[in-house]
Structure 1
Amino acid sequence: METKKFTTSPSDLQAAAQLIQQGQVVAFPTETVYGLGANALDETAVQKVFTAKGRPADNPLIITVDQIDQVADLALISPTARQLMNQFWPGSLTIILPIQTGKVSPLVTGGLDTAAFRLPDNQAARELIRLAGTPIVGPSANTSGKPSPTTAAHVWHDMEGKIAGIVDDGPTTVGVESTVIDLSVSQPTILRTGAVTQEELSQALNQSVIDATSTRALADNQTPKAPGMKYRHYAPDKPVVMFDPLDIAELKLALKPADVVLALEDDLNILALPGQQTWSLGLSMMNASEQLFAGLRYFDDRANVQTIYVERMPEIGLGRAFNNRLSKAAGNQLFIPKEG
């Protein structure tokens, strides 16, 4: 299959939208990561997304919309959901809602009676959906289990020849997937951390919001309500090891020539090892979230790399989402300094 490259010009977005109308798959930009777009109401098109990603069939897909009315056509919107939509949409928040009977394919929901919805904070994405005239599924545009794509080049690496097109809007600005909140249960529950924090959601709703992201993995016969809950995610082929910035002096002594380090700029300056390959995560937590997947992808493609060491962030705000993705990429492996 030929994969066409599109810009965000009106004519290119129209051409990309026509491909979606024809039942094809087109990668599109959001503020978080690039997604794989296909008509959410066309089972044949949705199946092409699963095939392109190599995604397990029981892993539900997020439905991406350009207006709240598209959600109302498919799901039951509670006052709580409406409140969050009004405050955080467009933005990096995905909301799980009960679906209206028969309105959403089990292929999209994983056979559940709920579905996840998002309205992204990216003008090109919303215009693409508007022109296509349909809500679209929008899982990350990467091979299932691998680091998510934050540039069109990342999508091309994984999806060239597998999908019909890629809309290029440059690097994403958030860099980690959206927060997922489940509103189909009695108490609002976060199933995936992201840029919208637990504190922000609790304040918006004036009630406690549960963070269930640290609970144990699902059993083989259980269907996850949100991506990232059950299957291996965000992981390159090369081994990844997390390290605490307080251990950077010990890490410096332990590094081998083929090891690489992803860290904040100030900590890379402390390492200061001539010839050691490094990737700057910038000067702030926001910079780090933008750069994490790009750095993992870059070194995963380098034959001379042995182990990828990545600095953990403070466990506050966006740092929770960063550390969540990092711990999954690393399989929870943490650098432990040798005693003495």
Structure 2
Amino acid sequence: MADEIKAVPTVVIPVDPQQPQADIIERAASLLRAGELVVFPTETVYGLGGDALREEAARRIFAAKGRPFTDPLIVHIAQIEELETVAAAVPERARRLAEVFWPGPLTLILPRGRRVPTLVTAGLETVAVRMPSHPVARALIRAAGRPIAAPSANRFKHVSPTTAQHALADLGGRVPLILDGGPTPVGVESTVVDVAAPAPRILRPGGTSLEALREVLPEIEPPLPPQTTASNDPESEEGPAQRSPGQLLVHYSPIVPLLLFEGEDEAQRKALVAEALRRLGRGERVGILAAVEDREALRPCEERGVLVRAPASLEEPEKVAAALFATLRALEEAGVNVILCRSFRPVGLGLAVQDRLRRAAGGRIIQVDPSADAAEGVR
């Protein structure tokens, strides 16, 4: 596990998300050049950035997050020419994807360039690289004059940050500077595609959909479901490194238990109501993350004090993704004892939403029997 970190004062500075002020960007860039850390907005979530070519900076990232060294970092670049600095080779299919989706929420797994410390790549001979589209992120990388390693700006395994306030809540006193560019538009991390493997595969679904990727590279394989393995134990320092961030069974988790319901929509609604009322009867404070279509069915729960949050429609996976982490944090901060969550259709960005919720549940997934009034149980 990463080393401990000394407490430092954290300054939060607002920055224009579309036309970032040059003096603010230079202040942040000077910290990065000195080996310090800076939190900054990307189009996906807020990132915790450090010089990707300095082992000392990478070590500080792991320490600030409490992240194990077996979980690699993503290296961010501002222009395609910088690939030569961080990657030893760029396969033709990687260039095809980059031409279409960069800058944007897509990370490519490539052979590691020798200038990238193995600490950044969790000891692997591959490196995760992406080119963000957020103006603040692009300006910061350019001003720093070097690639930036940047995982999400939160404590390890906690819900990812989509505002500067989320990052401050998790990393206040651990980083000297947070650039506040407002809420991030995509709301879930980048899609990670392994193009260094014999057959390209999505390792982590995210802000670029499987459907869009297959229009460029039809042979891309979908992600495998979360696996329960010894090497997936986030508390263990044993076992192999993760090939990509976001591979652990338990990740993106609120500090309170999250139960995920899966099955037909109407059966899910009945199960959510039954479980909420059962827990209310035990004196628990309950939160529900639902869809707009569920509001009427959940009205009896709201009338009894259940906090119901329905950020978007089932037909709007992009809006669900954009609001997902902020909604989970809002329920957590409201002091609920448990969050009950419906599942969303794995279409478009819904695939990333499904992945994040399954990992947030950490195996507490309830398969709903459509012929029954309640859930079959947790598998």
**What TM-score do you get using the length of structure 2 for normalisation?**
0.85
- 1:148 match: 160
- 1:248 match: 269
SS at match of 2:119: helix
- 1:278 match: 308
- 1:301 match: 333
SS at match of 2:97: helix
Q: 1:45 aligns with which of 21, 35, 57?
A: 57
- 1:261 match: 288
- Contact 1:240–1:307 under 8 Å retained in 2: yes
Structure-2 separation of matches of 1:270 and 1:217:
34
Structure-1 separation of matches of 2:181 and 2:253:
24
From the superposition, tell whether residues 278 and 143 of structure 1 become closer, same or farther in structure 2 (CA, over 3 Å): same
Counterpart of 2:272, as a letter, is L
Q: 1:7 aligns with which of 9, 14, 35?
A: 14
5+ residue gaps, structure 2, are: 1-7, 16-20, 232-237, 374-379
Percent of matched pairs sharing the same residue: 37
1:297-334, Cα deviation, whole Å (9 max, x unpaired) = 1222333x121011211121211110100010012323
- 1:229 match: 247
Counterpart of 1:4, as a letter, is V
- 2:151 match: 139
Post-superposition offset of 1:243: 2.2
Counterpart of 1:248, as a letter, is R
1:164-188, Cα deviation, whole Å (9 max, x unpaired) = 1111111111111110000111111
SS at match of 2:297: helix
- 2:170 match: 158
The aligned runs of 1:11-160 (5 Å cut-off) are: 11-75=23-87, 76-100=89-113, 102-160=114-172
SS at match of 1:211: coil
From the superposition, tell whether residues 226 and 197 of structure 1 become closer, same or farther in structure 2 (CA, over 3 Å): same
**What TM-score do you get using the length of structure 1 for normalisation?**
0.94
Counterpart of 1:122, as a letter, is H
Structure 1 stretch displaced more, 57-66 or 194-203: 194-203
The aligned runs of 1:180-259 (5 Å cut-off) are: 180-205=192-217, 207-214=218-225, 216-217=227-228, 219=231, 220-230=238-248, 232-244=250-262, 245-246=265-266, 247-255=268-276, 256-257=279-280, 258-259=285-286
Structure-2 separation of matches of 1:127 and 1:327:
34
RMSD: 1.7
Q: 1:324 aligns with which of 355, 362, 367?
A: 355
Counterpart of 2:67, as a letter, is R
Counterpart of 1:5, as a letter, is V
SS at match of 1:87: helix
SS at match of 1:291: helix
5+ residue gaps, structure 1, are: none
Post-superposition offset of 1:34: 0.5
- Contact 2:9–2:173 under 8 Å retained in 1: yes
Structure-2 separation of matches of 1:134 and 1:212:
31
Count of paired positions: 337
SS at match of 1:81: helix
1:255-293, Cα deviation, whole Å (9 max, x unpaired) = 134111111223123311313212222232211111111
Structure-2 separation of matches of 1:335 and 1:95:
33
- Contact 1:96–1:115 under 8 Å retained in 2: yes
Structure-2 separation of matches of 1:337 and 1:44:
49
Structure-1 separation of matches of 2:86 and 2:101:
20
Structure 1 stretch displaced more, 263-272 or 131-140: 263-272
Structure-2 separation of matches of 1:178 and 1:160:
24
